């Protein structure tokens, strides 16, 4: 490559950086003033760095085979600001690819056609619905990640307001609050909190990015009156896993100021186990206790759903290779569960999983068709589900991957199913992935009616995103997703 060519490539990079820098305040304005969340093939552009925006543009080439640069999308974002848009999730990447395929032309006319449902639909009064109070009961791994997501989504028409967390605590409250704040501020797996956190020991509050969060100390739900803190009609998200049936979770509903309870674990008995994107439409207005199922169930059900619809599933086995959890021991010690007493960082631990049976609660058509086991492995986050399936009609790896790629890009399940086609990815590459599961195309095996699929999932963050989607649904927080999915 000549020096002139090198200089040209370098200049193009700097030009794209400059455009991305100009794009950031426009994205922020769309979010804060119009409740428009801009994405690039499902990846949010709001509150992202210049480099992240440039990397997401490169991602388009991998999934679509089409180059898309910031110079292609910047004119679209610039025009969006002037269209007086109503609330929606707008995929600028898909619009950019469609505009290029059309051959360019009048950007504003193109957007008015593609986004006709929301053009000139902005309500300057900001009256886009009533905010919903959310309480996190328990502040462990999932509780803190839910807090991060809710704080990150505050504003922009999201309407969910994290009002309080409930924890057990005795002794020095000021010291306890500092420790809670520190665990929210720093995370060994997910990195630092993106913002600022202040502690008010006298008021017993944490203020994160302007969100004032009451910290309530209680040993049981019966001790809490939420209305005393100005909280009413709240959804309590139970992250403790202590109660998993109606009787136990019903304690939350007896508290003043609570209307619903959502469990972040598989529910027992008649509690509806919801995998958002699959059976969330089964939630009735009068359902006051719900379960978000398990992280593994959320990871595999969307993939199983689309496969069963397209190919039919005769039977199968699910093997979960799962990161160790706080339930296991750091070193060998007594544990009531089989094998779980052995040191988690030193062993692969064969254990049971209810995920295969739990699939039937979200997909009744697969009742009795799946078996399952789990292996806990010495890694703190990101797991994998191996789906060993017998299909009802034949296929091959190329056709199967092409189908799943299309489902991840342009279907109602694009928030649940992600797709990767790289020979070099490993588990840490999926830390922070917001999808329920990620299909690893390079590992797909298909021969006739036999198929083996490998599905990665961030069992902490990806699952927490699914929980927030349920929260949005039961709180009547809905956004149009444009352009419309084709499948």
CB crowding 336-375: b at 16 or more within 10 Å, else e? eeeebbbebeebebeeebebbbbbebbbeebeebbebebb
Give the C-alpha distances (Å, rounded to integers) separating 107 from 23, 27, 76, 83.
Answer: 16, 17, 7, 11
Lowest mean pLDDT among 94-108, 153-167, 274-288, 351-365: 153-167
pLDDT at 392 over 90: yes
Q: Nearest to residue 279, comparing CAs of 266, 265, 298?
A: 298
Q: DSSP label at 340?
A: T
Task: Write out the H or E segment, with its range, that includes residue 230.
Answer: none
Percent of the chain with pLDDT over 70: 98
pLDDT digits (tens, 9 = 90+) for 107-142: 999 999 999 999 999 887 655 567 899 999 999 999
Instruction: Please tell me the predicted confidence (pLDDT) of residue 150.
Output: 96
Over pLDDT 90: what percentage of the chain? Answer: 83
Which of these is catalytic: 255, 295, 315, 465? 295
In the annotation, is 295 catalytic?
Answer: yes
Separation between Cα atoms, residue 443 and residue 439, nearest integer Å: 9
Position 67 scores a pLDDT of 82
- How far is the C-alpha of 242 from the C-alpha of 407, rounded, in Å? 36
Kindly report the pTM of this predicted structure: 0.93
How many angstroms separate the CA atoms of 87 and 30, rounded?
9
Closest CA to 344 of 322, 369, 316, 319: 322
Across the range 5-22, mean pLDDT stands at: 90
Mean pLDDT of the chain: 93
pLDDT band at 156 (very low <50, low <70, confident <90, very high): low
Look at residue 487 in the predicted model and tell me its pLDDT.
Answer: 47
Give me the mean pLDDT over the 87-100 stretch.
93
- Mean pLDDT over 397-410 rounds to 95
Among the listed residues 167, 174, 173, the one whose alpha carbon sits nearest the alpha carbon of residue 135: 167
What are the phi and psi torsion angles at 38 (to 5°)? -90, 140
Q: What are phi and psi of 197, to 5 degrees?
A: -135, 125
Q: How confident is the model at residue 480 (pLDDT cuts 50, 70, 90)?
A: confident
pLDDT of res. 61: 79
Angstrom distance (rounded) from CA 410 to CA 420: 15
Q: How far apart are the C-alpha atoms of 212 and 217, rounded to whole Å?
A: 16
pLDDT score at 355? 87
Note the pLDDT of residue 35: 87
The answer to whether 417 and 373 are in contact (CB under 8 A) is no
β pairing state of 313-323 and 383-396: antiparallel
98 Cβ neighbours under 8 A, 6+ residues apart: 114, 483
Span 406-447, pLDDT tens digits: 999 989 999 999 999 999 999 999 999 999 999 999 999 999
């Amino acid at each position: 490559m000549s020096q002139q060519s090198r200089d040209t490539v370098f200049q193009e990079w700097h030009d794209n950086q400059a455009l991305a820098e100009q794009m950031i305040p426009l994205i922020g304005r769309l979010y804060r003033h119009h409740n428009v969340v801009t994405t690039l093939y499902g990846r949010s552009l709001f509150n992202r760095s210049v480099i992240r925006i440039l990397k997401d543009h490169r991602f388009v080439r991998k999934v679509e085979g089409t180059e898309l640069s910031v110079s292609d999308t910047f004119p679209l974002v610039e025009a969006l600001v002037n269209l007086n848009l109503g609330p929606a999730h707008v995929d600028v990447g898909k619009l950019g690819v469609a505009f290029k395929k059309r051959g360019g032309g009048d950007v504003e006319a193109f957007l008015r056609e593609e986004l006709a449902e929301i053009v000139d639909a902005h309500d300057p009064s900001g009256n886009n619905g009533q905010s919903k109070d959310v309480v996190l009961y328990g502040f462990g791994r999932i509780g803190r990640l839910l807090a991060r997501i809710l704080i990150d989504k505050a504003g922009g028409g999201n309407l969910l307001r994290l009002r309080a967390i409930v924890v057990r605590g005795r002794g020095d409250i000021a010291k306890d609050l500092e420790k809670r704040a520190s665990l929210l501020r720093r995370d060994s797996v997910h990195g630092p909190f993106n913002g600022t956190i202040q502690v008010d020991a006298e008021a017993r509050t944490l203020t994160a990015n302007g969100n004032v969060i009451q910290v309530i100390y209680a040993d049981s739900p019966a001790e809490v009156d939420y209305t005393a803190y100005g909280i009413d009609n709240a959804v309590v998200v139970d992250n403790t896993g202590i109660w998993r049936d109606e009787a136990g979770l019903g304690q939350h509903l007896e508290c003043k100021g609570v209307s619903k309870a959502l469990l972040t674990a598989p529910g027992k008995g008649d509690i509806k186990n919801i995998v958002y994107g699959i059976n969330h439409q089964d939630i009735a207005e009068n359902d006051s206790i719900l379960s978000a199922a398990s992280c593994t169930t959320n990871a595999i059900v969307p993939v199983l759903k689309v496969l069963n619809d397209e190919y039919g599933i005769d039977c199968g086995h699910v093997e979960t290779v799962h990161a160790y959890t706080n339930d296991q021991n750091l070193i060998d010690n007594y544990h009531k569960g089989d094998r779980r007493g052995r040191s988690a960082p030193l062993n692969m631990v064969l254990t049971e999983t209810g995920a295969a049976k739990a699939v039937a609660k979200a997909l009744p058509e697969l009742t009795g068709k799946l078996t399952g086991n789990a292996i806990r492995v010495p890694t703190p986050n990101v797991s994998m589900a191996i789906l060993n399936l017998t299909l009802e009609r034949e296929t091959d790896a190329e056709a199967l991957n092409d189908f799943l790629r299309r489902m991840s890009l342009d279907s109602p399940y694009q928030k649940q199913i992600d797709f990767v086609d790289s020979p070099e990815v490993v588990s840490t590459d999926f830390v922070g992935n917001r999808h329920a599961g990620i299909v690893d195309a390079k590992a797909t095996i298909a021969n006739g009616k036999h198929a083996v699929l490998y599905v990665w999932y961030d069992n902490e963050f990806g699952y927490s995103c699914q929980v927030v989607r349920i929260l949005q649904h039961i709180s009547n927080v809905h956004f149009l997703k444009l352009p419309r999915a084709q499948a």
